[in-house]
C-alpha cells in the first residue's frame, strides 16, 4: 500500500497555467465525501486543549461538491437544503483553505467558492472539513500551484483535525488529534443509515462535556481496537457492529438527550449497531445489506425521532476533481 504522500488526488486535475499556455482554467469542481467514525477513542486533554485520539474514519458516499472560479475577491456561496446554516464568512473552512494556499504561493485568494451541500451541517460527519479539503484541491488545480500531496496534507492538518481524512477518503486510523493518518484495508462494502437531528451540536462543546463527565477519571492512552480493524479488513458487518465505539457518545447524549430515542428506534428497526457519528448529533446505524438499510431507513422516517434519514455506503473515495 502506498503512503498518502505518494498518492495523487484521483482523476485528472485541471492543467496547470503553463500547460495551457498561461490561460487559467475557468472553474474547477471537486467532490468530497462525508465520514463516520467507527471508533472514536478519546484520551485526556492536552495542554493545547485538543485531545489525543484513536479515531477510525470511514468515508461514506454522501458528497459535497466545491466549485472554484476566478473572482474580484474571495467570496463563498452555498446551495442545498441546509445552505442557510453554512457560514459564508472568513470562518468557513473553504475560505480558510483558499487563503492559506494562496499565502503559501504568494497569490491573492480572489476566488469564488461555491459549495453544493449534501453533507449534513454541524452533524458530526465532517461536512465543513470536506469543504475545506475540496476548496484546497480545487484552488490548487485552478491556480496551477501543483502543491505536493504532503503540502496539501500539511495545510489540511492546519485547517482542522478531520480535514486530512476528507482529502484521502477510504478508511484510515487517525492519531494525534486525528490528523495523523494511516490508511486501513477494507474488505467489503458497509451499508449505513444516517438519522439527522433537528439541530446541530458544536464539536468543542461536546469535547468540553466529555471533560466534565470524566473529571477526576484517569483516562488511558487511546489505542485502535484490533477487533475493529480485523472486521474492517474482512468486510464483516456483524463483527464491525460488535466493535464500533464512540467515547463522545455519552457527552453528545448528555447535551442532546432526545438522541437516545433515535438510537432506540434504529435498533428496534433491526440495525446491527447504532452510534453517534463523531461529535454528533447525526446517528449512524449499520445495516446487514442494502435491503436492510432501506427497511431501517423507512422505520426511522416513520418513527418521528429525527429530522431526515439517508442511506449511504462505505468506503467512498476521497477528494476527486470532476
Ligand atoms: O480540529 P477541529 O477544528 O475540527 O476541532 C474542533 C474542536 O474540537 C477543537 O477546537 C477542540 O475543542 C475539539 N477537539 C479536541 N480534540 C481533538 C479534535 C477536536 O478537543 N482531537
How high is the pLDDT of residue 16?
39
Q: What is the CA radius of gyration of the chain?
A: 19
Q: In whole angstroms, what is the distance from residue 158 CA to residue 153 CA? A: 9
* Residues with catalytic roles: 35, 162
Sheet of 190-196: strand order equals: 273-276, 283-287, 190-196, 308-314
Closest ligand 1 atom number to CA of residue 161: 1
Check if the beta carbon of residue 259 is closer than 8 Å to that of residue 279.
Answer: no
The reply to whether ligand 1 has any atom less than 6 angstroms from the CB of 178 is: yes
Which of the two residues, 18 and 38, has the higher pLDDT score?
38
For residue 40, count CB atoms less than 10 angstroms from its CB and return exposed for 0-12, middle for 13-18, buried for 19 or more: buried
- Coil/strand/helix, residue 54: strand
pLDDT at residue 139 tops 70:
yes
Closest ligand 1 atom number to CA of residue 128: 4
Mean pLDDT of the chain: 94
Q: In whole angstroms, what is the distance from residue 151 CA to residue 137 CA? A: 11
CA of 106 to the centre of ligand 1 (A): 29
Identify the band that residue 17 occupies on the pLDDT scale cut at 50, 70 and 90: very low
The reply to whether ligand 1 has any atom less than 6 angstroms from the CB of 51 is: yes
Please give the share of the chain, as a percent, with pLDDT higher than 70: 93
Q: In whole angstroms, what is the distance from residue 21 CA to residue 19 CA? A: 6
What does pTM read for this prediction? Answer: 0.93
Closest ligand 1 atom number to CA of residue 160: 1
Amino acid at each position: 500500500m502506498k503512503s498518502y504522500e505518494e498518492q495523487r488526488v484521483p482523476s485528472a486535475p485541471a492543467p496547470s497555467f503553463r500547460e495551457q499556455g498561461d490561460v487559467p482554467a475557468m472553474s474547477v469542481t471537486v467532490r468530497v465525501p462525508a465520514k463516520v467514525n467507527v471508533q472514536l477513542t478519546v484520551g485526556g486533554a492536552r495542554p493545547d486543549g485538543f485531545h489525543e485520539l484513536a479515531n477510525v474514519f470511514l468515508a461514506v458516499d454522501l458528497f459535497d461538491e466545491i466549485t472554484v472560479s476566478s473572482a474580484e475577491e474571495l467570496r463563498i456561496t452555498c446551495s442545498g437544503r441546509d445552505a442557510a446554516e453554512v457560514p459564508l464568512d472568513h470562518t468557513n473552512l473553504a475560505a480558510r483553505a483558499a487563503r492559506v494556499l494562496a499565502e503559501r504561493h504568494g497569490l491573492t485568494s480572489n476566488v469564488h467558492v461555491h459549495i453544493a451541500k449534501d453533507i449534513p451541517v454541524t452533524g458530526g460527519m465532517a461536512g465543513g472539513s470536506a469543504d475545506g479539503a475540496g476548496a484546497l484541491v480545487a484552488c490548487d488545480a485552478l491556480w496551477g500551484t501543483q502543491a505536493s500531496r504532503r503540502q496539501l496534507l500539511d495545510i489540511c492538518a492546519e485547517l482542522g483535525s478531520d480535514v486530512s481524512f476528507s482529502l484521502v477518503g477510504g478508511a484510515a486510523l487517525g492519531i494525534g488529534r486525528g490528523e495523523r493518518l494511516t490508511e486501513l484495508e477494507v474488505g467489503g462494502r458497509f451499508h449505513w443509515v444516517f438519522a439527522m437531528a433537528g439541530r446541530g451540536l458544536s464539536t468543542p462543546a461536546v469535547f468540553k462535556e466529555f471533560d466534565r463527565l470524566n473529571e477526576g477519571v484517569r483516562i488511558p492512552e487511546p489505542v485502535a481496537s484490533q477487533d475493529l480493524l480485523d472486521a474492517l479488513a474482512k468486510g464483516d458487518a456483524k463483527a464491525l457492529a460488535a466493535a464500533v465505539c464512540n467515547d463522545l457518545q455519552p457527552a453528545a447524549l448528555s447535551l442532546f438527550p432526545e438522541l437516545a430515542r433515535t438510537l432506540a428506534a434504529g435498533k428496534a428497526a433491526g440495525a446491527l449497531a447504532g452510534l453517534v457519528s463523531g461529535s454528533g448529533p447525526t446517528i449512524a446505524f449499520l445495516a446487514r445489506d442494502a435491503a436492510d438499510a432501506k427497511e431501517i431507513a423507512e422505520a426511522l422516517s416513520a418513527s418521528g425521532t429525527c429530522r431526515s434519514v439517508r442511506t449511504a455506503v462505505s468506503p467512498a473515495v476521497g477528494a476527486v476533481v470532476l
